[in-house]
Amino acid sequence: MKYRSTRGQVSGQSFEDVVLEGLAADGGLYIPEQIPQLPADWQTKWAQLSFVELATELIYLFVGSDLTRDQLSQLVSKSYSTFDTPQVAPLVPLSDMHVLELFHGPTFAFKDVALQFLGNLFEFFLQRRNSRGEASRLTVVGATSGDTGSAAIYGLRGKDKVDVFILHPKDRVSAIQEAQMTTVLDENVHNVAVQGTFDDCQDIVKHLFGQKEFRQKYSLGAVNSINWARILAQITYYFSSFFALRRQYPEAIPRFVVPSGNFGDILAGFYAQSLGLPVERLVVATNSNDILDRFLKSGTYEKNAEEGVLATPSPAMDILVSSNFERFLWYLARDHEVSEDITDAAEREQKAGEIIAQWMDKLKTQGSFSVSPKALHAARKIFGSGRCSDSQTLDTIAKYYAQEPSYLLDPHTAVGVYVAENTRDSDAHIICLSTAHPAKFSDAVLKAVNDNGHQLDFGSILPPPLVGILEKPRRCFDCENSPDKVAAHIINKVKL
């Protein structure tokens, strides 16, 4: 298995290379050169596998010769031993749909599914390189709107030969999200509060990766969902939830509704479907930062430049530009934008990379680009979408807390549930991905419940690891919105 960049200038990379590099040298994102084939009997052969066993089967299709099956199995088993249930991602009923609970990892967010695995991958590949006499270390640099940061830190804390720098927008993450990051005092963990938005943090990260000399000297690695291994690990729970649903409804074909910010979570669903998983539809659920919903309605991918990033009760989705969308756009360009006169597969793939590079340049310089009607029609065949306002988010939390049996949604999952309710057009078997534990968003959850005539004892839902976290000692570096200032901080902290 080899990998190429979405922008066409890099190809033939190994799985190990793309994991450690994160972002391609041409600024693109890595995608597999081919979508592998599932075993012909996968629906029966894999139906009773545990989550760990299923993850091993799926991930092994993409690693080439870089990991043996036994090595991969050990890494996967180690990664999910930190979860509070052997199911890892249990499927639970909620009214007339199902919720896929992805918050049973150490930081109570869906990012743990990928980042526990990615942290162990980093450590394995670095140890192997050092054992060969290749002096290798990694400086991981990531941006977070809340959950990626703590999940990355918990996945990498104390790892040998790894420093991790996590940039978060100052005062734009929840109190518990900030505490989960900044109370980790391991020497290799460095938190940076940037005076700006998540998009500013993400732009800084991309800028640093674009500085060739700096990137090579400090061996930069990525933990954001620009790293292919993040997407790969998340494919598993689409398959596990499919099997869980089929145990109840043997002929069911699920519709997945996914709260979406950076597009990584639902992109994993796209790859699951591309592998052959039966999927009725993938539905993008956005908050007021709705670039994805607007694209799927208009065919124009446009920054909301006048208003900028809007602060909402679901801060992990407060994003102006969805970085991972570039991966899906590559397939859209190859299949529906490249001239039909070009029949050679390699030439079509190269042309797709050129189109993506042009689109991304337009987005950067003009703030938008548009796809053809043919491409938009193709995108709509795969994805539906919907938008949820702040008040609708809070009302949805209150509604499901008040019903019997009571269920407490976090604000991101509430966005998904609201969109699921309002895009239902059939007797679809809906699975809404639940991306975080409600305790991580106390202000929004308490406001939703208490303002609607109910009383919530927040202490009763707080997981034991979060009890007292707001009072723990912290370490964080406050920084201007400047790539140079962040680079200087990295240079000061990393000992080569």
From start to end of 171-289, where are the E strands? Answer: 189-194, 220-221, 254-259, 281-286
- 3-class DSSP assignment, residue 302: strand
Rounded Cα distance, 91 and 431, in Å: 8
- Reported as a single tens digit per residue, the pLDDT across 73-114 is 999 999 999 999 999 999 999 999 999 999 999 999 999 999
Give residue 305's pLDDT.
64
Q: How far apart are the C-alpha atoms of 379 and 375, rounded to whole Å?
A: 6
Q: What are the residues whose beta carbons fall under 8 Å from the beta carbon of 377, sequence distance 6 or more?
A: none
From the first residue on, what is the mean pLDDT of each consecutive set of 10 residues in the chain (496 residues)?
97 96 94 97 97 98 97 98 96 96 96 95 91 86 89 92 94 92 96 94 93 93 91 98 97 97 96 98 96 96 84 91 95 97 96 98 95 98 97 97 94 98 90 96 92 83 92 96 97 90
- Residue 475, Ramachandran bin (φ over 0: left; ψ between -120 and 50: alpha; else beta): beta
Residue entry with tokens 């930081």: 107
* Residues near 171 by beta carbon (within 8 Å), at least 6 away in sequence: none
Compute φ and ψ for 136, nearest 5 degrees. -125, 135
Of 45, 78, 111, 495, the active-site residue reads 111
C-alpha of 174 from chain center? 18
The CA distances from residue 117 to 156, 217, 241, 455, in Å, are: 10, 26, 19, 38
The alpha-carbon radius of gyration of the chain (Å, integer) is 21
Q: What φ, ψ does residue 428 adopt, rounded to 5°?
A: -65, 145
Examine the residue annotation and report whether 111 is marked as an active-site residue of this protein: yes
pLDDT score of 444: 93
Dist. CA 481–CA 204, nearest whole Å: 8
Listed residue (415, 425, 371) closest to 393, CA to CA: 415
Instruction: Name the helix (H) or strand (E) containing 99.
Output: strand 97-101
Type of residue found at 56: T
Q: State which H helix or E strand residue 94 sits in.
A: strand 91-94
Q: Is residue 393 a contact partner of residue 411, using CB atoms and an 8 Å limit?
A: yes
Residue 145 pLDDT: 84
The CB-based long-range contact list for 469-474 (8 Å cut-off, 24+ gap) reads: 469/176, 469/179, 469/180, 469/183, 470/175, 470/176, 470/179, 472/179, 472/183, 473/183, 473/185, 474/179, 474/182, 474/183
| Model pLDDT for residues 242-276, shown as the tens digit of each residue | 999 999 999 999 999 999 999 999 999 999 999 99
User: C-alpha angle 323/325/328, rounded to 5°?
Assistant: 145
pLDDT at 309: 87
